[in-house]
Amino acid sequence: MKYKRILLKLSGESLMGAKQFGIDNTRIAEYAEQIKEISEMGVQVAVVIGGGNIFRGIQAEEGGMDRVHGDYMGMLATVINSMALQSALEKVGVETRLQSAIKMEQICEAFIRRRAVRHLEKGRVVIFGAGTGNPYFTTDTAATLRAVEIEANVVLKGTRVDGIYTADPEKDKSATKYTTIKFDEVYAKGLEVMDMTAFTLCKENKLPIIVFDMNKTGNLKKLMQGEQVGTLVEM
């Protein structure tokens, strides 16, 4: 098995499936099955989900709302998504713990690093909600911060494209895909992998990133088995 402990980052938009808003139950059930599969292989799995399918703080700011207020609303959206994934995982028999950066005793644990690591060691899937608990930081940054804290071997960024391209493949048909790329190349070429704070945090801690298509069933398992899927960003 290639990785012992991973941090899986999912976008909120990916949970919409074919919908325009909210959560597609079929899509989230598919994700739960894929996570179950690798968890049963012995991989320790932590997950961070965005909230863009429900609310984005930056959009609120564009509409005239205070950015800090909007960001906190976005954090609450990530908790809703995290609860939905927790429910889907428990439905298929996976023991799961949800930890939030904002205290919500009735629905989840507060984030405590040592406790999170203990859950992982016991084979539970740990979902980290509410971002970092601070405004102005994205869930990409939350994912890399948590990955560093729990000493994950890799950050897996599950998206709807199958890796990093020379240009946006949805807009430029001549764009070609990288199988591997160095952190410094990403900076030099101005490629968008994740937000720069998150990306720099990974580089400083020598934490590799794999960008892959999460919507293709089996990709997650292939990655755990060491197959080449998506694009690997490394030192």
Q: What pLDDT shows up at residue 58?
A: 74
pLDDT over threshold 90, residue 140: yes
Q: Report the DSSP pairing between strands 177-178 and 164-165.
A: antiparallel
Residue 203 pLDDT: 97
Name the residue among 193, 228, 234 with its Cα closest to residue 211: 193
For range 225-234, the mean pLDDT = 96
Mean pLDDT of 187-215: 95
Label residue 128 by pLDDT band (50, 70, 90). Answer: very high
CATH of the domain at 107: 3.40.1160.10
Split at pLDDT 50, 70, 90, the class of 97 is very high
The confidence score (pLDDT) of residue 64 equals 86
d(CA 117, CA 155): 16
DSSP element (H, E) containing 147: helix 139-149
| Number of other CB atoms surrounding residue 59 within 10 Å | 12
Q: Is residue 35 pLDDT above 90, yes or no?
A: yes
Q: Structural domain tally of the chain?
A: 1
Query: How far is residue 10 from each of residues 27, 82, 103, 134, 180, measured CA to CA in Å?
Result: 12, 10, 22, 19, 21
Boundaries of domain holding 63 = 5-234
**pLDDT at residue number 59:** 75
Res 220 pLDDT > 80: yes
User: At 110, is the pLDDT very low, low, confident or very high (cuts 50, 70, 90)?
Assistant: very high
What b-and-e string marks burial along 187-221, b requiring 16 or more CB atoms within 10 Å of the CB?
Answer: eeeebebbeeebbebbbeeebbbbbbebbeeebbe
